[in-house]
Structure 1
Amino acid sequence: MIRFALPFVPLAHHFALGLLGAVLVATSAHANEAVIRKNLSERLPNLPRIEEVRATPMRGLFEIRINGNELLYTDAEGNYLIQGVLIDTKARVNLTQERLEKLTAIAFDDLPLKDAFTTVRGNGQRKLAVFADPNCGFCKRFERDLAKLDNVTIHTFLYPVLGKDSEEKARAIWCARDRAKTWEDWMLRGVTPPEPKADAKCDTAALERNVAFGQKYRISGTPTTILANGTRLPGAVGLDRLESLLAQASAAK
């Protein structure tokens, strides 16, 4: 039997090679980013400012982030632009959706809960926050599903973004003696919130702060739900899906 002796390579040499490889990869990625930014800005002058360029798990494909959390994809030279979702077929994962969830997550502890009113059912262990407009039809549909949840704490942020009437109704609800009941009466039963008395003292600055908070975090539609693990859910999520996501959020804590 013929035996070949392999040369001994010091561990430090392996480390140096690994470090060199990492540097080369980083340099290459930076070069690709510069080319992508240059070519797209020159060829598509109306494209919004590119806020971030990053490599995707798909070789040669790069993610471009614009307008805060809008994702596009391109090749290493910016010759092609793709609008759509990136699916990992092996893992059966929507990578675009995963990325958007990370980009739009809001830490639950960062929510200004003093500017919301709270509803507790059962043990209240599961927690969520909802930004809702009193004139939003999807919010009313979502409220019907929320009413079926048990063992939950719901923080409702009045988010009047659909016009003057929404602002007036939000003020009336915020100034009511029982905000949660007044909200449910209107959203579930169509009972118009009573107008605050002319001589009543009611500070509605919270509503302005809610709108400012929503603008800061790009809450562009209602309802928008924030789970305890920071996951943001746009739209009227169905009850079954909401129950599943609440369970995941609780398990992640």
Structure 2
Amino acid sequence: MKFLRSIAVFGLLACSLVPSFAQEAVIRKNLSEKFPAFAKIDEVSKTPMNGLYEVRVGFDLFYTDEQGNYLLQGNLMDVRARRNLTEERISKLSEVDFDKLPLADAFRIVRGDGKRKLAVFEDPNCGYCKHFERDLSTVNNVTVYLFLYPVLGPDSIAKSRNIWCAKDKPKAWNDWMLRNTAPANAECDIAALKRNREFGQKYNITGTPTLIFANGSRAPGAISAEEVEKMLVAKTP
């Protein structure tokens, strides 16, 4: 009897999955036929709102009906819980597994016992980054993995090269960002800089500074030392 009950339960589960897959196929087909940009849809999933589906293309979220006849983009709010479901979803999609970061393409700045971990992607010519670095220098007991991320132009690449090729990378970085002393010209293999940009494109790092915490969550922008401290405490796994 147990075996028969198991077969029956499995059959019910299988039947319940068929409409879901069929609905997804309909949405993919209709949207891709009407909009070339939707030729490659990464994910289709139901939302808590009846009849509304989320369509994900890369890091962009759209919403559609069961047939893919209507399309909208914006924030989906849970009014009762006062939650922005779209923001929460994007935040989850933006997470990066800290253990999978290419740390060999970064240099370390250790403060205090260095027990807490933080990765930062920065362009040396980013004004917000300089302001952020002054604040970050006051945060103690942290190891900062600094990924040079030259995206603002040729001079950013030149400065990143000189910092990456310096004998003392942390000193060259701090001299420039905190004391406005330009790094001396230096030459070495800078393939790491190219890999950093490729990594950033893959994970949608579109601005600097971008912070990634030990639990994989990220914070875009020059947040204050107090905010960094709060997030280091909250985000330590």
TM-score (norm 1): 0.84
**Correspondence for 2:136:** 146
Give CA deviations for 1:75-109 in whole Å, capped at 9, x if unaligned. 11112212112233344333222222332222111
**Correspondence for 2:26:** 35
Amino acid paired to 2:100: D
Secondary structure, counterpart of 2:156 in structure 1? helix
Aligned match for 1:206, one of 180, 192, 204:
192
Inter-partner Cα distance in structure 2 for 1:148 and 1:13: 66
**Correspondence for 2:115:** 125
Of stretches 165-174 and 180-189 in structure 1, the one that deviates more from structure 2 is 180-189
Secondary structure, counterpart of 1:187 in structure 2? helix
Cα shift at 1:247: 1.4
Cα shift at 1:245: 2.0
Give CA deviations for 1:113-154 in whole Å, capped at 9, x if unaligned. 122111111221211101111111222222222122111110
Secondary structure, counterpart of 1:131 in structure 2? strand
2:36 corresponds to 1:50: no
Inter-partner Cα distance in structure 1 for 2:223 and 2:8: 50
Secondary structure, counterpart of 1:222 in structure 2? coil
Secondary structure, counterpart of 1:105 in structure 2? coil
2:60 corresponds to 1:74: no
**Correspondence for 2:203:** 217
Of stretches 128-137 and 237-246 in structure 1, the one that deviates more from structure 2 is 237-246
Of stretches 239-248 and 103-112 in structure 1, the one that deviates more from structure 2 is 239-248
CA distance 1:14–1:247, shift in 2 (3 Å): farther
Inter-partner Cα distance in structure 1 for 2:28 and 2:97: 31
Give CA deviations for 1:36-57 in whole Å, capped at 9, x if unaligned. 1122122223446212111122
Aligned match for 2:148, one of 148, 158, 161:
158
Inter-partner Cα distance in structure 1 for 2:99 and 2:135: 25
CA distance 1:128–1:49, shift in 2 (3 Å): same
Secondary structure, counterpart of 2:152 in structure 1? coil
- In structure 1, the gaps of 5 or more residues are 1-9
**Correspondence for 2:15:** 24
2:69 corresponds to 1:83: no
Cα shift at 1:212: 2.6
**Correspondence for 2:165:** 175
Count of residues in correspondence between the two structures: 237
**Correspondence for 2:92:** 102
Inter-partner Cα distance in structure 1 for 2:190 and 2:37: 40
Of stretches 37-46 and 75-84 in structure 1, the one that deviates more from structure 2 is 37-46
TM-score (norm 2): 0.89
**Correspondence for 1:65:** 56
Cα shift at 1:58: 2.1
Q: Cα RMSD between the aligned structures? A: 2.2
Secondary structure, counterpart of 1:50 in structure 2? coil
- In structure 2, the gaps of 5 or more residues are none
Larger of the two Rg values belongs to structure: 1
CA distance 1:72–1:241, shift in 2 (3 Å): farther
Cα shift at 1:20: 4.0
CA distance 1:36–1:195, shift in 2 (3 Å): same
Inter-partner Cα distance in structure 2 for 1:174 and 1:104: 27
